A and B are shown apart, each in its own frame.
Chain A
Amino acid sequence: MRWLLGKDLLILRRSRLLVALLVVYPVAIALLIGFAISASPSKARVAIVDETPPGETFTLGGTRVGLAEYTDELFNQVHVVRVPTRAAAAGRVASGDVLAAVVIPPDIVSKISSGVNQAHIEVIYNGDALKQSFVRSTINSALAQANLALSEQIKSVAVRDIDLLLAGGQLGVLGSSQSIIGLSHIAPALSAVARRQPPGADRTTLVRVAGFAAFAARNLGIAKNVLTTVSQPIAAGSTLLHGKRTPLDTYAVVVAVSISLMFICVLLAAGGIALEREEHALARLIRAPPGRGGGLISRESLLGEKALLASGCAFLVAFAMLLGVSAFVALDLSRIGMWVVALAFASLGFAALGTAIGALAREVRAASLLAFLLSLPLAFLALVPSGSVARGLYDVIGAVSFVFPYKAALQALDTAVNGASPGIGISIVHLAGLTLLFGALARLGLRRAE
């Protein structure tokens, strides 16, 4: 086996362009995917046409609110490009300069102030279905944020008024200020007066009014809490069932490394086996003339040699990637032992898949194409979160991911690097099982030497 391994290393050394592509391409793809997952999305450029008069305000519960406060809240999630007219905005959208345009009509203030009519804004957008969906969700999200801010303002005005009703104080009415007694002071005052009254109908009435005032004060206090609940009915609190919370950037590192590992391993193993057949050397290696008992090398040893070469190379690249990335992203270096275990089993699983592809495809170009066609969707399927697609479809995705090594490798690496799960054992056993399965498939593919 060592002579063949030496031969393959010599061939690799002489195929510098291939080796460079094998390393650079998956690393580039992996980094792109990793950054796409981890990087917070940059703000979309949105054109704004504000047709309202400058400095326009509207009244909320007796308080005047500037429209700009509302629109600022509306658009703090996007990169605002102010344009003077609707036509100009539509032109910017058509040219692709901005993702979308939002037109704020001149009657928006009167609609909001009326408290009866719903205010509308116009959204202009363009592009393919994906872009349209992105624009809709971005604008809807911005609108929801603005509405939330508006309701917060309404709530704060209402709470201030309730406090005044409860505690009493100065109330401005028609430009003049008036001192009012708070509800919370009425009950004690009436009770004191009632105590000074002789028993009779008046005293009974005073006691009843004082009781009502106390009751009203208590329930008005509750109303403040009710208002808070209405303005934000649901607040999220999270509970993680297993392991610890994985930061998105370290998860992106794991995704990037596992994709690189898969590409290098699968392509090298598949290409290595297919090359033996393409060069017609396979038959010379494994032919077993009558009486000799076996070939120059057994099929199992040949597969093992290719798997060892591919997994060794991929392991080194992936390990170097992890160490390199650790200079920029905080990775727990005390877990290096776990990294090695996860990378070793993952690379063996991928190498077994590669040898199976190489043995079945029979020529290098077909093997490489098959390896690409299989690897890319596997990576994307493994990243589909549960609940993001229909349950039946997710079950199918889960089944597909289960019978290929990518998801198990991702889980093993996530556990090794981030401690995402309590134990790495299940992923390792899964990978070992898949290594045997694809090894057996590869052996079947090498049944015929020609």
Chain B
Amino acid sequence: MAVGEPLGGCTRREGSDLRVSAAAAPVHKPVLRVEGLCKRYGLRRALQDVSFAAHAGELVAVIGPNGAGKTTLLSILAGVQAPSAGTVERAPGEIGWVPQQPALYSKLSVAENLRLFARLESVPDPESVVARMLDQTGLGERAQERVDRLSGGNRQRVNVALGLLADPPVILLDEPSSSLDPSQRERLWLLIGELASRGTCVVFSTHIVGEAERYAQRVVVLDEGNLLFCGSPAELGREGGGGDFERAFVAFLRERGRA
């Protein structure tokens, strides 16, 4: 295989020990392509030559230990930070972003938050979009409630709703389930699954590797800013010696001296 040739939505570079899976390669054109992405904070390298692509309707999980560069990668893709090197290409349309910390105005109600950002994003019919998002996220009954009186889980649902306002072809979710209880998680993943089934490309980071196994079609493993693996969860499980996915993931990292 030639160096730089797209394979399974990932790109292998000369000299890297990146493992790629041919089985996960979609056939249609990617909606998001990342090439040679680097990010430095002074002397510290937060991301090092990361390349991958994601396709419409695909669920891509970005996993890795703490400090691996997951949030940095997503914030660059979202346009919150500029990369030190590399390029990000995307299909026309918005990139939705759901940050790790709910980005909401706590003194406004759920509906007021949604309405404000719908207007700021210049969506054609803000009121109908707000109604749709309230319905999709199951927050209709809480629409007039102030955000500072909501539970952490409900805040996160509003946070997700804000990321979806412009009906983006690509949505980035940074640890979306971290503050949710199991039933809220299930509802969230149901919503995310529906989005993907409608053709939205979903890129999410998580430290709950079980979620990556359960919901992602492809897994991107980062550690200390380096891309270690890009392929299906099953492939990653096999790389780690099979069996329980979480143990296989830890074994995968240990094998590379990362855990």
Q: How far is the CB of B150 from chain A (nearest CB, A)?
A: 14
Number of chain A interface residues as a range: 20 to 34
- Are B97's CB and A287's CB within 8 A? yes
The residue of chain B having its C-beta at the shortest distance from the C-beta of A288 within the complex is: B79
**In chain A, residues 255-304, which have Cβ atoms closer than 8 Å to a Cβ of chain B?**
279-281, 283-285, 287-292, 295-297
A3 within 8 A of B: yes
The residue of chain B having its C-beta at the shortest distance from the C-beta of A11 within the complex is: B107
- Are B107's CB and A14's CB within 8 A? yes
C-alpha spacing A285/B77, complex, angstroms: 15
- Are A450's CB and B89's CB within 8 A? no
- Are A450's CB and B81's CB within 8 A? yes
A7 within 8 A of B: yes
How many A-B contacts are there with CB distance less than 8 Å? 76
C-alpha spacing A281/B78, complex, angstroms: 14
Q: How far is the CB of A294 from chain B (nearest CB, A)?
A: 9
The residue of chain B having its C-beta at the shortest distance from the C-beta of A289 within the complex is: B79
Is chain A's binding surface mostly helix, strand, loop or mixed? loop
C-alpha spacing A283/B81, complex, angstroms: 9
- Tell me which residues across on chain B come within 8 A of A11, comparing CB atoms: 105, 107-108
A42 within 8 A of B: no
Q: How far is the CB of A22 from chain B (nearest CB, A)?
A: 15
- Are A10's CB and B90's CB within 8 A? no
- Are A15's CB and B81's CB within 8 A? no
Q: How far is the CB of A198 from chain B (nearest CB, A)?
A: 119
- Are A289's CB and B78's CB within 8 A? yes
- Tell me which residues across on chain B come within 8 A of A279, comparing CB atoms: 103-106
- With most chain B CB atoms within 10 A of its CB, the pick from A15, A291, A448, A449 is A291
C-alpha spacing A281/B254, complex, angstroms: 38
Q: How far is the CB of B134 from chain A (nearest CB, A)?
A: 19
- Are B79's CB and A290's CB within 8 A? yes
The residue of chain A having its C-beta at the shortest distance from the C-beta of B71 within the complex is: A450
B167 within 8 A of A: no
**In chain B, residues 67-99, which have Cβ atoms closer than 8 Å to a Cβ of chain A?**
75, 77-81, 87-90, 92, 94-95, 97, 99
Q: Which residue in A4, A14, A292 is a CB contact (below 8 Å) of B79?
A: A292
Q: A287-B80, A290-B89 are in contact. Are A281 and B119 (CB under 8 A)?
A: no
* Mask: chain B, 105-121; 1 = CB below 8 Å from A; 0 = not: 11110001000110111
- Are B94's CB and A292's CB within 8 A? yes
- Are B106's CB and A289's CB within 8 A? no
C-alpha spacing A280/B101, complex, angstroms: 7
- Tell me which residues across on chain B come within 8 A of A285, comparing CB atoms: 120
B138 within 8 A of A: no
Query: Given A280-B102, A290-B77, list of 10 further CB < 8 A pairs?
Result: A3-B116, A11-B107, A280-B104, A283-B78, A284-B99, A285-B120, A289-B78, A289-B90, A292-B79, A292-B95
A-B pairs with beta carbons under 8 Å apart, 15 shown: A3-B116, A7-B105, A7-B116, A11-B105, A14-B107, A281-B104, A281-B105, A283-B103, A284-B99, A289-B77, A291-B90, A292-B94, A296-B117, A297-B120, A448-B81
